[in-house]
Homo-oligomer: A and B are copies of this chain.
Amino acid sequence: MQPKNSLDYHKVFSKIGSQLEHTDNLGEVASYIPELFNVDPKKFGIHLSTVENRHFDYGDSKERFSIQSISKVLSLSMAFKLEGTALWERVGVEPSGNAFNSLSQLELECGIPRNPFINAGALLICDVLVSHLTNPKEEFIDFVRALVGKDNINYCERIALSEKEHGFRNAAMVNFMKSYGNIKNDVEEVLDFYFNLCSIEMSCAELSQAMMYLCSNGINPLTNEEVVTPSRAKRINAIMQLCGFYDEAGEFSFKVGLPGKSGVGGGIIAIHPKKYSIAIWSPRLNEKGNSYRGMKILEFITTQTKSSIF
């Protein structure tokens, strides 16, 4: 089955160029910070890595971009490993049915975020990591570097600073959860860590490599070390499936049919469990804040390769 699939990928990737010509590049680049707004909206990269260590790519797949919320998959994984199932007493696993940065639902549910991928949940995860780690920023970036297999993956200080300057809504959320007793550490420290997480830069090639543990039973294929247990890898995939695209999780499941996670930098990662990890980048976002072209091309690829999980 593998050779057949690999051939399929090759064939499908050879069609991406002409497919792109027929795909509008609609939507808007994220504009709330200049570092995102100034990115060339015509950039497009994609990289697929299989469990047999085969690789397929197209376009700007080696250029680094701001992965933004995609890093929430990595921070969740690390927090799940460190905190175990006690984590689910402080954050849910249910889709939110609301915008990613809504405070209303957080109020209704007394400071327990619905899931780890809405902003409130990701901030909560940062609080968990701050509790467990001595040097949160260093230890987290080391964790990420081990997944990519490169020492030069870094936070972007400029972006982290810009995020902070526009981060009043996130500050509102941390303070709000702290008022419910669901944040244990200093508000500023949690926010600082969060804004840094969002600032990590990777290329599609690096990103798809970093996520390989989620299609490999929790094992980092570069080191054969267990990132999370097989059962937890499945669960992280399940959470991505239900909550990875904010208010468009259903649409993504419906059209692409894979667990995935997007970021406002225009990146998307998707996982076919046991088969492949795929990263895509196109900066223009649709109304829900997900990459316009990224969604379209992933739909094209999973349709062509018949590789939905459903």
Interface residues of A (CB under 8 A from B): 92-98, 102-108, 114-115, 168-169, 171-173, 175-176, 178-179, 187, 231, 233-235, 237-239, 241-243, 247-251, 253-254, 257, 259, 273, 303, 308-310
A175 in contact with B171 given A95-B95, A241-B310 (CB within 8 Å): yes
Q: Could you say which of A95, A105, A169 has the most chain B C-beta atoms within 10 Å of its C-beta?
A: A95
Q: Are B247 and A94 in contact (CB under 8 A)?
A: yes
Which residues from B are CB-within-8-Å of A173? 172
As for how many copies of this chain the complex holds, the number is 4
Which of B92, B238, B253 is in CB contact (< 8 Å) with A238?
Answer: B253
Which residues from B are CB-within-8-Å of A114? 97
A103 in contact with B176 given A97-B98, A309-B310 (CB within 8 Å): yes
Which residues from B are CB-within-8-Å of A172? 103, 171-173, 175-176, 179
Which residues from B are CB-within-8-Å of A257? 234, 238
State the Cβ distance, A118 to closest chain B Cβ, in Å: 10
Q: Which residue of B lies closest to A248 (CB)?
A: B94
State the Cβ distance, A84 to closest chain B Cβ, in Å: 14
